[in-house]
Structure 1
Amino acid sequence: MHTVHGQLQGLKPSQLKQLQRLYHQRLPGDCLTTPEFAQRLAAISTDLAKPVCAYINRRGQVIRVGVGTPRQTQIPPLELPRYGASRLSGIRCVATQLKNNPPGTSALTAMAIQRLDALAALTLTGSGFRRRGGGDVGYVKQAYLANLVPNTHEASWTVSPPLSLDALARRDFLAMVEELEAEFQREFVAQQVEGDRDRVLIVGMRTAELDAQQFEDRLAEVGRLVDTAGGIVLQTLQQSRSRPHPQTVVGSGKVDEIALTVQTVGANLVVFDRDLSPAQVRNLEKRIGVRVVDRTEVILDIFAQRAQSGAGKLQVELAQLEYNLPRLTGRGQAMSRLGGGIGTRGPGETQLETERRAIQRRISRLQQEVDRLQAHRSRLRQQRQHREVHSVAFVGYTNAGKSTLLNVLANAEIYTADQLFATLDPTTRRIAVTDENTSEVRQFVLTDTVGFIHELPPALIDAFRATLEEVTEADALLHVVDLSHPAWQSQIRSVMGILSDMPVTPGPILLVFNKIDAVDGETLDFAAEEYPQAAFVSATEGFGLTTLRQRLLQLIDYAVVGTD
């Protein structure tokens, strides 16, 4: 029994059978429709006093029949054939409409979301019309033909002037589609990027607690995260709401806009700027038709790429499993995450398709390993304390320049890059500094820690507790700030918020403003006035490093005196 979709309330069994019989129709491949099929569709629509849509593939088979507008009867994205940005879906829609107007924006948007080969809109001679004696006129008054046109920036389509049914049926449909797809291919090749990189659409949702600047900074940071993870940001969409929609975060109209933009720009991944519940991901993927991930999942993916040591990989796997465990139920197609791309990498990826109990056992084993890692780091710290070697831990927002600063202070060779979370594994280096007051050479250790970020995912905080203990156990902290970043004040607040939430209160903190070579004088003066005790350096240019070394000695002395 073939399924009839859409607005079926109040239909008689005989009317449903008429609709189901449409599935048995077979149209010539080179015709968009035949006069006979169009008149039959229009007759049913007139009888129902409702619009009717028939979806037909290129073999001329009717694959979907629905009662309602193209928007109300459209094929869910996940049920559409897989096609690239250079192709159409291979499906056309012949739709009736009760008003004698060209197809509206809603119908054209539905066409674009589904990337239909064409939309033929048939207007009727009048509701309640019955066939006249000779049967010459039929039920179709006139028709409009709509199709997509290539445009990588916005949804674009063209709608014909009113056509007679015979003129519509005489159109060489296959030639029209081949010409269109050749244009899409040329446009796609001109815009094509590396095939192994995700093409990302970012979606931001602003609520009342965020002002305009904070929201823009947040979206910019998500863009940096996507870039660091290896994706390419094609476009960003925004919406303001008093609170997130419980099912889809953004409103229904915005979901349609996202789906339309995905098809228009050729995105294969949608990234939201906030955490999503499993139900929200499931609902969004069903309506949009591509993978949907949240900010935390992008961060976890970056960590999976950056972890080099066994300890780092262990902690990343634990974080991934703890994050994904409550999200296993109902993931559907999204549970198969071995295809590559953002949100799919890492040592924990294959665990997502195992039973929940097996994952829980794996988490328990990993937590035991992390406990052993904590014990090992604790013994190393005790050895340093026994030798009276003091330690300073570098903290700060990701990409503030902590690793670069450690490299120049301790002649280390830590990997650095202008990326978020460029280094993940903690690194400890010994440094010798001559005290200018006593000429004594004093030694202590510097430890580079994982970078912080606004709303650091709880799964990471828990999994990286062995690493973060380097912060709480250090004698003092060096809080490195990228003064050239537009949101440097917000980043300071984020880092201090994370430090204040730690179970053990860290030692004294020296604020160090980095990258002063890329800052104007007004910003420097403002930062110096707001934070008179801070140090100002440029790790890449070598500015202020001599003064910083002496400030480090003073910081350690202050920390040691404070603990005596």
Structure 2
Amino acid sequence: MGASTELAALIDTIYGNLDGLKPSQIKALKRLYSQRLPGSSLVTSEFAQRLGAISSEIQQPLCTYINRRGQVIRVGVGTPRQTQIPPLELPRYGAERLSGIRCLATQLKNESPSEAALTAMTLQRLDALVLLSVTGEGFERRGGGATGYINATYLAHLIPDGGQTHIYWTVSPAQSLDVLSQQDLLALVEGLEAEFRREYRAQQVDQDTDRVVLVGLLTDRRYEQQFQDSIEELERLVDSAGGEVLEVLQQKREHVHPQTVVGEGKIQEIALSAQTLGANLVVFDQDLSPAQVRNLETKIGVRVVDRTEVILDIFAQRARSQAGKLQVELAQLEYMLPRLTGRGTALSRLGGGIGTRGPGETKLETERRAIKRRISRLEQEVNQLQAHRSRLRQRRQHQAVPTVAVVGYTNAGKSTLLNVLTKAEVYTADQLFATLDPTTRRLLLPNGHTILLTDTVGFIHELPPPLVNAFRATLEEVTEADGLLHVVDLSHPAWLTHIESVKDLLSDMEVTPGPSLLAFNKLDEAAPEQIEQAQARFPNALFISAVERQGLEQLCESLAQLVRYATGSSGV
């Protein structure tokens, strides 16, 4: 009974702005739900005239949405843009199909469909948009006494783009209602979907690859260059995670919109881009609250994630050791826990036993409690890992072997340098966060003494707090080291910003790291002006190329001096 009552209420719903409408007018609108059109007809003259009469009386545009069985499934007062079906309420359909719904809309002036109406058609992937121009009053039809309200009609529908990435629409010239009512809907739809299928197969869309639209917001608190660097970095993050960036959209606002981050118009643009490009993921270049994610997904119709979730995904892919996997899982669960809310009563179960009222324990509460238990266990294991590494460090200290932690921005070349200096076999790639697990190797210095070099996880601007917390056992390798070797990718345009980001993260650690040595890497790829700027700004820094083995002898001599200074020993 509950389901049938809910369905009846849905069928009775009139969407849009009902202010000022009389009860009799609302009743006339509700009666439209009882109408049924022939399955093969775009529109019938009788139904169109009825829409025109109501629209003329209330002096507002109307929209009715009809499925392929000819049933009216939605009635709204307003334009196609104002009354469109939310993406999450649309039926599921593939990239090669239309939604199976057409919109019959009225307008109070005679003109072609607006871009807003055509955009709404595209977002809903409608079978067709039929626009009926209402004259404002009935007129006598030639040859009979029937009263008509439709002055002209327009037909719009989507068309494939001939192998490109966008979907386009076509709009017919103004035509009479009699001509339009004779068009075969099923023939039109079948022809269009056959073309979409051919285009879809020709593009050979890889279902395993996320097709991504990036969104960046430039506020008064961010500098233009910093913003552009962040967007480019996000593109590389998505690429490292295995996604394909289709388009980058940007908006400039004074403040972040509290509900949706960007404005309503930009949301429509994002939704249109996702629809026309076939994107299945939208990535924002900033952290999103759980409410913002839900609001954006409702309006856009595809999955929405933020920068932190992309980084977490990369970490999950890159973790190789048991310790790394453990820490990544902990970070993911801590990120997921506050985002479980807002799923509504759909996850509820009916209460059991005698005398219960309403829903019992929800699946949401069960999931939250299970995640909290898992987080507690993982934190215990991370603490054990932390204690184990602490014992290893104490053992090394008793053996009087100095340690140097290699730190730097992600993809600065730390692992490559470790491999070249110590003949380690750490995985390297031109990717962000190619390696996560710390690796310690012995390095024989020119003076005959030995030190331990430890490769650490790469830093990044605004490293997500869950990752900082989860990788505290790894980052302690930095705080417990006798000295730091700060490696910088000099070929990167934002190398100076990278230095500041690493310094900020190091300063936030509970224990202040030891003295550091600055080494600019990738000298072979850096532009001459970048080298000159770095030499002028950091005259005591080293300039090396791990790949070309340039400057490594001087680096080893400087490491010996660094350790000798850090330990206060003249014998190292």
TM over 0.5: yes
Write the mapping of 1:153-552 to structure 2, written as runs, cut at 5 A.
153-154=165-166, 156-331=168-343, 354-435=366-447, 441-552=448-559
> What residue in structure 2 maps to residue 67 of structure 1?
77
Task: Give the deviation of 1:85 after TM superposition.
Answer: 2.8
* Whole-angstrom distance in 2 between the partners of 1:401 and 1:180: 51
Shift of 1:42: 1.4
Question: 2:554 is matched by which residue type in structure 1?
Answer: T
Paired amino acid for 1:305: Q
Q: Give the conservation status (yes or no) of the 8 Å contact 2:406–2:485.
A: yes
For residue 484 of structure 1, report the CA deviation from its aligned partner.
0.9
Q: Secondary structure at the match of 1:285?
A: helix
Contact 1:430 1:444 in 2 (8 A): yes
In structure 2, stretches of 5+ residues that fail to align are 1-7, 348-362
Contact 1:517–1:541 under 8 Å retained in 2: yes
SS in 2 for 1:29: coil
Q: Distance in 2 between matches of 1:104 and 1:231?
A: 34
CA spacing shift, 1:257–1:144, aligned 2, 3 Å: same
Whole-angstrom CA distance in 2 between matches of 1:431 and 1:175 = 75
Give how far 1:187 is off. 3.2
In 2, the alpha carbon distance for the partners of 1:352 and 1:487 equals 43
Rounded to whole Å, the distance in 2 between the matches of 1:333 and 1:482 is 51
Query: Comparing 195-204 with 150-159, which one deviates more in the overlay?
Result: 150-159
Aligned-pair identity in percent equals 68
Query: Of residues 17, 22, 30 in structure 2, which corresponds to 1:20?
Result: 30
User: 1 CA distance for matches of 2:346 and 2:159?
Assistant: 31
Q: Is the 8 A contact 1:155 1:261 kept in 2?
A: no
Please report how far the alpha carbon of residue 272 of structure 1 lies from its aligned counterpart in structure 2 after TM superposition: 0.1
- Using the alignment, how far apart are the partners of 1:365 and 1:291 within structure 2? 30
* Residue-by-residue CA offset, 1:116-144 (whole Å, 9 max, x unaligned): 11100001121x54778944451111101
Distance 1:540 1:201, change over 3 A: same
> 3-state SS of the aligned residue for 1:28?
coil
d(CA) in 1 for partners of 2:439, 2:433: 14
2: CA distance, partners of 1:423 / 1:260: 37
Looking at structure 1, the residues matched to 300 and 243 of structure 2 have their Cα atoms a distance apart, in angstroms, of: 19
SS for the counterpart of 2:217 is strand
- Pairwise CA distance, 1:447: 0.5
**2:87 paired residue among 71, 77, 86:** 77
Could you tell me how far 1:371 is from its partner in structure 2?
Answer: 1.2
Q: Larger deviation: 13-22 or 88-97?
A: 13-22
Q: Distance in 2 between matches of 1:79 and 1:378?
A: 54
Deviation at 1:170, TM superposition (A): 1.3
- Residue range with higher mean Cα deviation, 35-44 or 260-269: 35-44
Matched residue, 1:340: none
**Taking structure 1 as reference, are residues 383 and 308 closer, same or farther at Cα in structure 2, changes over 3 Å only?**
same
Distance 1:469 1:235 in 2: 39
CA distance in 1, matches of 2:295, 2:157: 28
TM-score by length of 2: 0.91
> Which position in structure 2 is the counterpart of 1:346?
none
Q: Output aligned runs, 1:126-141, within 5 Å.
A: 126=136, 128-129=137-138, 134-141=144-151
What CA distance in whole angstroms lies between the structure 1 residues aligned with 2:248 and 2:93? 23
Residue in structure 2 matching 1:117, options 116, 124, 127: 127
Deviations 1:432-454 (A, max 9, x none): 1222xxxxx11111111100000
Amino acid aligned to 1:249: V
The CA deviation at 1:112 is 1.1
Q: Do 1:427 and 1:447's aligned partners in 2 also have CA atoms closer than 8 Å?
A: yes
Aligned length: 543
TM-score, length-normalised on structure 1? Answer: 0.92
Q: Which residue among 98, 105, 123 is the counterpart of 1:88? A: 98
Task: State how far apart, in whole Å, the 2-side matches of 1:125 and 1:550 are.
Answer: 89
Matched-pair contact (CA < 8 Å) for 1:131–1:139: no
Structure 1, unaligned runs of 5 or more: 336-350, 436-440
> Of residues 91, 104, 107 in structure 2, which corresponds to 1:97?
107
8 Å contact kept, 2:283–2:307: yes
User: Conserved in 1, the CA contact under 8 Å of 2:460 and 2:502?
Assistant: yes
The answer (yes or no) to whether the contact 1:85–1:265 under 8 Å persists in 2 is no
Q: Secondary structure at the match of 2:76?
A: strand
Q: For the Cα contact (< 8 Å) 1:395–1:477, is it kept in 2?
A: yes
